[in-house]
Structures are given as structure tokens and as C-alpha cells.
């Protein structure tokens, strides 16, 4: 079968984008290629997840005599491995690791970027064959090149991200990433093992019909959030509701759907957990960057997510994200 040369692979796309910047060194393209490579490995394992009872449980030996790892640990190791051995990343922070890891070798100390990621978000959905994802955030280092990266490289405001993206392991596997130039989506063509450009220049519709929130926590939300949820369920002039409630419990899938179709996703603080559940640096910041670049908005209920000054790698924040007009409607409830 002849390959359709109208397709554009992830590598081709990032290199073409780089040509618009005469001073670009290709490091960011290399970083995205490395992330794409790890994502393909995770894709293969995710697709075998249903066989885990046949192949052996986590902590036991598989048929090759290797220890079977939990999928989220496997994903973490893949992303850490490609970034450590690539030439573009000086260190990483991950949901799976307590502390940042600074690679500190001659090549990595010269690398311009650090990366934060959630290797497998929504991992409680693995057992039941529901979409899960990887989320990542890329910052340019602020510490001196030639020396090991420092914590200040990771604790930058989200508005300093140079790129952010996610991979969704769903009915197909997709990698979506944003830079300051816009948001583009690539679907994994399994026949050739390449991410190919399928969703160029993604724009989040200004409004939509979907709201996504954990209704089980309703009585623990504050009054403006309850008021907005009630508005979502009613036919009013301003919201154009009632909206449809869709909540997978896998943020990558929920926000991806709302990005494409229009909608709002909320993970508010609760009386038990005032800061909610989601992590600022590797869950909320990357999505806020992507959705803002696509024309939407993201806040913690008070301020823009991207303007929050982080103080620690694993900090949590309430999170509201989605179509511009729906977010403005929510803001008017305060």
C-alpha cells in the first residue's frame, strides 16, 4: 500500500514549525518527539491492560520473567527514560515521584527545558477500560545553562510555559499539544506507527452544551458553584440551557471532549478539600495553557490558573476550564 504523502507526521510538523524561528535549535522538536515516542510505548501497554489477569498482576513475574509493573509506574518510567536519554530536557517533575529529578549529566545540564507530567491521569479507570491520558508541561529553564536544573525552573507561573499537551488513550490514541502559535492534534496511525496531524488549529467553541462536574460532591461546593450548576440545569436566556451533564472522571477525556465540542469542566474545592483534588503543575497548568490558546478560559474560581505562583510541585487547586462564554457565566455567579 502506498503511503499517502498528504499526511503530516508529528516530527514533520514540529520541524516545519521550527523553521519559522531562525534561532530555534530544534530542542523543543526533539522533546516533543521524545514524548511522542514514550506515548506510543504507553499506548501499546494500555491496549494490553485487559489482559493483565492473563499475563500476571502487578508485582508478579510475566512470561519473560520480568516483573509486571503497574501501568502508571510503567508510564512514568517510559516518559522519564526518553527524557533522561534525550538531549532536550534537564529534569522532570512527575505525579509519580515525590521530588523533582534533575538529570545532572554533561548533556542534560546544557538542555534548555524542564518538563512536568502526569504520566497516567485517570488511572482508576484502567481496570474498566475507560479512556485515560498523559499530561505534560514544558518550561524554559531560568537557571544557568551548563549547570544542573533547580527547583525554580519547575516552580514557574503557567503563563511561562513554552508548550503543553496531553495524550489520550481512547477509541484512538491522540496527542494534542499547544505552543504560543496554537493548538494541534495528532492521531496515532497504528498502520505506520506515527502520530499524524488530524486536528490542525484547534479552536474551542465560545459556548457549548456540556457541563462536567462530580455531582456527588454537590452539597460540599460553595454557593456560587451550586448556583452555576443549577443554572446549567435550567433554560435561561443567558446559559441557553439546560445543558447535558457528562463526567467520565478522567480529566483528559472530559476536557478533550469539551475542547472539541464546547463545554465547561469543573473540579471545585469542597468543604473537606478546599483546594480540590487536581494538581496545579502537571494537570491544571497544561490544560489551562492549551484551552486558553484555543480561545477558552481557565481559573481557580478567583484568578487565572496561569497566573498562580506555585510554591511546591504537588500543590492542588480548584479548577474551572472551558468555553469562554460559559466561563464568563460561571464568573458572574460569584
Give the binding site for ligand AHM (CB under 6 A): 121-124, 214, 249-251, 267, 277
Pull the grid cell for residue 125: 479507570
Residue whose CB is less far from ligand AHM, 50 or 249: 249
**Smallest gap from residue 15 Cβ to ligand AHM (A):** 32
Residue whose CB is less far from ligand AHM, 38 or 213: 213
Pull the grid cell for residue 33: 518527539
Helix, strand, coil percentages in the chain from 3-state DSSP, rounded to 5: 35, 25, 40
By residue count, the chain amounts to 334
Pull the grid cell for residue 202: 484547534
**Smallest gap from residue 109 Cβ to ligand AHM (A):** 32
Residue whose CB is less far from ligand AHM, 113 or 282: 282
Where in 155-301 does DSSP place strands (E)?
Answer: 161-169, 173-179, 182-189, 194-199, 210-212, 244-245, 263-267, 297-299
Place of cell 474551572: 320
**Smallest gap from residue 247 Cβ to ligand AHM (A):** 7
**Smallest gap from residue 169 Cβ to ligand AHM (A):** 13
Residue whose CB is less far from ligand AHM, 75 or 326: 75
Pull the grid cell for residue 82: 526518553
- Other beta carbons within 10 angstroms of residue 298's beta carbon come to 23
Residue whose CB is less far from ligand AHM, 76 or 123: 123
**Smallest gap from residue 95 Cβ to ligand AHM (A):** 7
Amino acid at each position: 500500500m502506498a503511503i499517502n504523502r498528504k499526511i503530516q507526521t508529528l516530527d514533520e510538523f514540529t520541524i516545519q514549525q521550527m523553521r519559522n524561528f531562525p534561532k530555534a535549535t530544534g530542542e523543543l522538536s526533539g522533546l516533543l518527539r521524545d514524548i511522542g515516542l514514550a506515548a506510543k510505548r504507553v499506548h501499546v501497554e494500555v491496549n494490553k491492560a485487559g489482559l493483565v489477569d492473563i499475563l500476571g498482576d502487578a508485582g508478579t513475574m510475566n512470561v519473560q520473567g520480568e516483573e509486571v509493573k503497574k501501568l502508571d509506574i510503567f508510564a512514568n518510567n517510559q516518559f522519564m527514560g526518553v527524557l533522561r536519554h534525550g538531549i532536550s530536557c534537564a529534569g522532570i517533575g512527575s505525579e509519580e515521584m515525590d521530588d523533582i529529578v534533575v538529570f545532572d549529566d554533561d548533556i542534560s545540564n546544557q538542555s534548555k527545558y524542564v518538563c512536568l507530567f502526569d504520566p497516567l491521569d485517570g488511572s482508576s479507570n484502567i481496570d474498566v477500560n475507560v479512556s485515560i491520558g498523559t499530561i505534560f508541561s514544558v518550561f524554559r529553564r531560568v537557571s544557568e545553562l551548563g549547570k544542573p536544573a533547580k527547583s525554580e525552573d519547575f516552580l514557574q507561573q503557567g503563563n511561562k510555559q513554552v508548550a503543553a499537551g496531553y495524550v489520550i488513550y481512547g477509541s484512538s490514541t491522540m496527542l494534542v499539544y499547544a505552543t504560543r502559535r496554537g493548538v494541534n492534534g495528532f492521531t496515532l496511525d497504528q498502520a505506520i506507527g506515527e502520530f499524524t496531524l488530524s486536528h490542525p488549529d484547534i479552536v474551542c467553541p465560545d459556548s457549548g452544551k456540556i457541563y462536567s462536574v462530580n455531582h456527588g460532591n454537590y452539597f460540599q461546593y460553595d454557593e456560587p458553584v451550586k448556583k452555576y450548576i443549577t443554572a446549567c440545569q435550567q433554560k435561561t436566556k443567558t446559559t441557553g440551557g439546560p445543558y447535558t451533564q457528562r463526567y467520565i472522571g478522567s480529566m483528559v477525556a472530559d476536557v478533550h471532549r469539551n475542547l472539541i465540542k464546547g463545554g465547561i469542566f469543573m473540579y471545585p474545592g469542597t468543604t473537606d478539600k478546599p483546594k480540590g483534588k487536581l494538581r496545579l503543575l502537571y494537570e491544571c497548568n497544561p490544560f489551562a495553557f492549551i484551552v486558553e490558546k484555543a480561545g477558552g478560559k481557565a481559573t481557580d474560581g478567583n484568578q487565572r490558573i496561569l497566573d498562580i505562583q506555585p510554591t511546591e510541585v504537588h500543590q492542588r487547586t480548584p479548577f474551572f476550564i472551558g468555553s469562554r462564554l460559559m466561563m464568563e457565566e460561571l464568573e458572574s455567579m460569584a
